[in-house]
Amino acid sequence: MTVTSGEAQRRLHVEYAEALEADAETSGEQCNDLVEAADYWHFAGEHEREERALRVAAEVDDDSNVLHGPAAYAKFLLTHGRRAEAEERFARLLREGSNCEWAYVTASMAYRLVDEPQEALRWLNIGVNRFVPSLDAEIEMGDAGSELLRQRSLLRRELGLPPDGLDELHERLTEHGRQIGAQIESIRRHDEDPAILFWPAADFAEIQRERPGWYPGTEHLEHRREAERALRQHPDAAVVIGSFESLVGFAASRGIALDEQSTRAEFAAEAARRGLAIAWPPGRNDACWCGSARKYKKCCGAPGFA
């Protein structure tokens, strides 16, 4: 039983969009902030605000940002049936080229959204050709070009194309990435870092029914916000996703009082010792720790959220 309604979600998106537009004025990352704000206007169904943010992002972009204003605006135009305007902008991108990997990722996304996968693949090929000069390029996950490689491999697989040299290069990258991830994980397990306990919506609703005194008058959204805030205050912390049922079992097996705050803290610490905590923070583009299936940067990691 979740308690989030469509309207609450929409209000949250508007709130994020406004926070990002406010950040854009002072952050020194005007283009990125506006492109991200546009995403939230989109989710909120505010397409005029979305277009306005993207038009400004396209104007102020000096090609030194993570996100690419002109490509993002062209994507908007293409997916809103304004093909001629979009193609004019994409043609300029092709002519002038960009140092921004995301320009090519965005162009590719735009054509995927209008169901033209071959054109999407063409943009990925153009980008990879620019950012990954050779098959033995010294490139790692997160380097410019690695996202293009990743998307290219995924799309080629979807299209049923046989793996080529660049697909193999991408495979080697992910293998390397997995090894590094495993190392970090094993280092983390040895530490006694604080564990922040977070209840998924269904468990939180159950707690509000069964134990209303634990989080009096708190909505699940506020609970999630508090968890993110606590995590930001303890950069070494990890998240433990709680289950009310296992907490009840934990308290019973230890013979300790279910209602004590310290029982919840011990429950979280024990889960962390058993390696069940989730490392924090996730990468900006990785899935959010809260389980929403959204990117961290667009969920609990959004600038205005905590």
Footprint on this chain of Zn ion (rule: CB under 5 A): 288, 290, 292, 299-300
Q: In angstroms, give the least distance from the CB of 160 to Zn ion.
A: 34
**Tokens (6 digits) for 226:** 């508090």
Report how far residue 180's alpha carbon sits from residue 174's, in angstroms, rounded to the nearest whole number: 10
- CB count in 10 Å sphere of residue 150: 16
How far out from the chain centre does Cα 182 lie? 21
Complex with Zn ion: residue 24 or 299, whichever CB lies closer = 299
Q: In angstroms, give the least distance from the CB of 227 to Zn ion.
A: 9
Complex with Zn ion: residue 263 or 292, whichever CB lies closer = 292
Q: In angstroms, give the least distance from the CB of 37 to Zn ion.
A: 18
Residue whose structure tokens are 């989109």: 42
Report how far residue 236's alpha carbon sits from residue 250's, in angstroms, rounded to the nearest whole number: 25
Please confirm whether the linkage preceding 281 is cis (ω < 30° from 0): yes
Are the C-beta atoms of residues 103 and 91 closer than 8 Å to each other? no
- CB count in 10 Å sphere of residue 133: 11
Helix (H) or strand (E) holding 44: none
Complex with Zn ion: residue 109 or 299, whichever CB lies closer = 299
How far out from the chain centre does Cα 12 lie? 16
**Tokens (6 digits) for 48:** 């005029």
Q: In angstroms, give the least distance from the CB of 291 to Zn ion.
A: 7
Q: In angstroms, give the least distance from the CB of 32 to Zn ion.
A: 19
Closest residue by Cα to residue 13 from 301, 299, 306 = 299
Complex with Zn ion: residue 121 or 239, whichever CB lies closer = 239
Q: In angstroms, give the least distance from the CB of 209 to Zn ion.
A: 24
Complex with Zn ion: residue 127 or 200, whichever CB lies closer = 200
CB-side exposure of 146: number of CA atoms within 13 Å? 14
Q: In angstroms, give the least distance from the CB of 278 to Zn ion.
A: 11
Complex with Zn ion: residue 53 or 299, whichever CB lies closer = 299
Are the C-beta atoms of residues 126 and 91 closer than 8 Å to each other? no
DSSP 246: H
Complex with Zn ion: residue 39 or 61, whichever CB lies closer = 39
